[in-house]
Chain A
């Protein structure tokens, strides 16, 4: 089974330029996450989708960041314009979420892609 696919793996741009990252989750996974990982830190959630709905985007800097998951499968994260401080690794993850109302109070396991390393010059 293929894992989470991300592209590109590396991206170097100049500040003020736009950039976009693409993610294809594991087949059948209805929940998709974008995380930001700064150097020497753990990942932090930017946005979570359940199918095509963004259900948690409270950490997404909406002045310059946007994301979409139009058909509930793959997703794109965009930054426009990029700033020097945006240099980081952008991780995508997916999970198969249990339906609401289930009695299984267990967190879904998230599976991560390799990430896109962004360098803003």
Chain B
């Protein structure tokens, strides 16, 4: 049973650039949530996708956008990168029905210079 996968594992960008992170959910899951985890902090909710629509969003600026594809995989896009965007970006998958327990992928570590 394939778990949640994310790519790339690491990424280095410079200020002002744009980045796209990718996530494939656990087999059988239909909902993808994205979190940002700064060093020494707990994960912060960015947004959640279900049925290719953003259905909930956290307190993040419009520079953060996403997409979900018909196969339930998802992308997170960040435009106009700031130094403060350096963090571990986590994707979590779950089922919209049932217990809704979220399982995390290995994460993408983004460094903005």
Q: Do chains A and B stick together as partners?
A: no
Residues of B at the A interface (CB closer than 8 Å) are none
Residues of A at the B interface (CB closer than 8 Å) are none
